[in-house]
Amino acid sequence: MKKGQCVDLHIHTNESFDGSLTVDEALAGAKENGVSLVAFPNHNIDNREIWKSKGRKLSSPVEVIDGVTVICASEVTCRIDTVLNKENNTTKVHYGIYGADMSPNSPLSRLLAIKRANDRQCDLGLLDFIISVKNIKNISENDIRDFMREKRQEIPGFSSLGKESVWEFLNKKGITVSKSYKEFSELCSRAPWHDRLNLSAEDVVKIAHASGGMVIMMHPWENLERVRDKSFAVMEILRMGIDGFEIFSPTMTDDVMAIIKRCVKSFKSKNKIVYTGGSDTHDFGRGNKIGRLHYLPLYREAVADFENEIMKLKNAKQKGKSSSRTYPKVTDAEIEGIIKYYKQAYLYLDDVAEATALGRTIKIEKPKKEHKKKKESLKSSKMRPGKKDRRLDGARYDIEDFESVHDYLGAISDDLGENVYDNPPEDETYEEYLERMNQVHSVNIPNIMEEDSELADD
């Protein structure tokens, strides 16, 4: 194999919860396999932390780090509203966004901050709940990351925190929250329920382009496997303005490859539709797979068009232009409308979670996609009739006021600690806890014993 001629545009690191490699390990792994061009599209998060730790400009789309060319990237979970799968649900897809601006105020960074806050609440809702209820101090996000990293090395498919893993985590930390697992399990059954924030693929494409990034459909076979009409799906994806497809993917089939190539040929696109490739590796658990598809190296020539487009994008940015490609004009007002819609949708999910946890039946209107029709902002009063909201009345935090999502969530849990859980006394029994909760909320907390729901959507 020729050294330095391989590429891998789909490597996961521990920046997202389901990767176990550090960036340095991933870069070393790339060098070991002769890979000179990489990207780390972690789930629903940009590469801001990586860029910052390496002293790079947040608006920079491409950087050479430790001798390897790295394209800034993110893998965003979204839905194609117009394409149904065999179960008649809208189709979930993973879109890779490459070369976008990750400065805190870029549209993509703002959208991902909202999505990430929601995802973290889903992943860690249970742990956050136990921490608040039992007033546990000194657990940091890094402790949780380290624990999840260990779990991934043990169990390659591990991705989310269930009740058993939370129990294991607390025991490892020497924290006793209950006398027995049964008692702990009962406590868990009272944790708030969380739902994932659904981003529409069309909105994600607009926001990505507005941030100067290119959008690639990741592992197309995995996304299209359950879809009834795959050709229709690919044409819809093209119509919405995708820039390319990750056709060199470990799960690719000849059928899906043929459909994509046929659709691309018949679709009249203003921009060149590019093909990319990546291993989608999450760890070194079973050997270094960076730059490998079924153990064959992925040559740089295979994605040469993509590399050219990314380099043009970089040059355009250096000249102060946002993109070298032609995209339909999206106005600032439309971008603000999209961001606002997801912010409201996130707050709505939070309310539903709270209401469900308290066994309360309240009528909450889902936010409507008004940004599609007009640019008028959604009114929070219209969105949540009849709900007296303690947070929107000045106390609710605005995600943009915080440096990081972590700080933001910290502020929310401080708020919860004060207003909802009221710092429980250390020796409080479970019955006393229930009584106090019922007093706080003036409602009866039902004894709902539910199975752990499937949390991961990544």
H or E segment and range at residue 204: helix 201-210
Our CB check for Zn ion shows the closer of 5 and 90 to be 90
Q: Is 292 in the site for Zn ion (CB under 5 A)?
A: no
Q: 73-84 and 42-43 as β-strands: parallel, antiparallel, unpaired? A: parallel
Q: Tokens representing 222?
A: 């995995």
Question: What is the smallest separation between the CB atom of 281 and Zn ion, expressed in angstroms?
Answer: 9
Our CB check for Zn ion shows the closer of 221 and 402 to be 221
Cα 260 to Cα 353: distance, rounded to the nearest angstrom: 39
For residue 384, give Cα distances in angstroms to 74, 198, 362. 33, 19, 9
Question: What is the smallest separation between the CB atom of 269 and Zn ion, expressed in angstroms?
Answer: 24
Report 176-235 residues binding Zn ion (CB under 5 A).
Answer: 218
Q: Tokens representing 88?
A: 């008649």
Our CB check for Zn ion shows the closer of 282 and 371 to be 282
Our CB check for Zn ion shows the closer of 159 and 344 to be 159
Please say whether the beta carbons of 208 and 108 come within 8 A.
yes
Which amino acid appears at position 346 of this protein? Answer: Y
Question: What is the smallest separation between the CB atom of 223 and Zn ion, expressed in angstroms?
Answer: 8
Our CB check for Zn ion shows the closer of 94 and 151 to be 94
Question: What is the smallest separation between the CB atom of 293 and Zn ion, expressed in angstroms?
Answer: 14
Question: What is the smallest separation between the CB atom of 48 and Zn ion, expressed in angstroms?
Answer: 18
Q: Which stretch binds Zn ion (CB under 5 A): 27-35, 191-199, 279-287, 303-311?
A: 279-287
Our CB check for Zn ion shows the closer of 75 and 354 to be 75
H or E segment and range at residue 244: strand 244-248
Question: What is the smallest separation between the CB atom of 11 and Zn ion, expressed in angstroms?
Answer: 9
Our CB check for Zn ion shows the closer of 130 and 242 to be 242
Question: What is the smallest separation between the CB atom of 19 and Zn ion, expressed in angstroms?
Answer: 9
Please say whether the beta carbons of 117 and 407 come within 8 A.
no
Q: Which stretch binds Zn ion (CB under 5 A): 187-195, 256-264, 272-280, 314-322?
A: 272-280
Q: Which stretch binds Zn ion (CB under 5 A): 59-67, 86-94, 283-291, 360-368?
A: 86-94
For residue 39, give Cα distances in angstroms to 6, 45, 252, 370, 400. 12, 13, 19, 35, 27
Question: What is the smallest separation between the CB atom of 222 and Zn ion, expressed in angstroms?
Answer: 7
Question: What is the smallest separation between the CB atom of 218 and Zn ion, expressed in angstroms?
Answer: 5
Our CB check for Zn ion shows the closer of 93 and 399 to be 93
Question: What is the smallest separation between the CB atom of 94 and Zn ion, expressed in angstroms?
Answer: 4
Question: What is the smallest separation between the CB atom of 164 and Zn ion, expressed in angstroms?
Answer: 25
Q: Which stretch binds Zn ion (CB under 5 A): 14-22, 89-97, 230-238, 371-379?
A: 89-97
Q: Is 280 in the site for Zn ion (CB under 5 A)?
A: yes
Q: Is 94 in the site for Zn ion (CB under 5 A)?
A: yes
What's the half-sphere exposure (Cβ side, CA atoms, 13 Å) at 264?
A: 17
Q: Tokens representing 45?
A: 């998060």
Q: Is 8 in the site for Zn ion (CB under 5 A)?
A: no
Which amino acid appears at position 448 of this protein? Answer: I
Question: What is the smallest separation between the CB atom of 198 and Zn ion, expressed in angstroms?
Answer: 16
First to last CA, the chain: 33
Q: Is 282 in the site for Zn ion (CB under 5 A)?
A: no
Token pair 């809208």 is found at 90
List the one residue out of 174, 155, 161, 176 whose CA is nearest residue 127: 161
Which amino acid appears at position 249 of this protein? Answer: S
Letters for 59-78 (x = contact with Zn ion by CB under 5 A, - = none) are ----------------x---
Q: Which stretch binds Zn ion (CB under 5 A): 91-99, 117-125, 357-365, 427-435?
A: 91-99
Q: Which stretch binds Zn ion (CB under 5 A): 148-156, 204-212, 252-260, 273-281?
A: 273-281
> How large is the C-alpha radius of gyration of the chain?
23
Our CB check for Zn ion shows the closer of 21 and 353 to be 21
Q: Write a three-state SS string for 36-47.
A: EEEECCEECCCC
Our CB check for Zn ion shows the closer of 119 and 280 to be 280
Our CB check for Zn ion shows the closer of 94 and 289 to be 94
Please say whether the beta carbons of 339 and 333 come within 8 A.
no
Residue count, binding to Zn ion (CB under 5 A): 4
Q: Tokens representing 6?
A: 């391989």
Cα 457 to Cα 435: distance, rounded to the nearest angstrom: 35
List the one residue out of 308, 163, 303, 309 whose CA is nearest residue 243: 309
Token pair 């389901």 is found at 18
Cα 433 to Cα 438: distance, rounded to the nearest angstrom: 9
Residue showing the smallest CB distance to Zn ion in the complex:
94
**Where along the sequence are the contacts to Zn ion (CB under 5 A)?**
75, 94, 218, 280
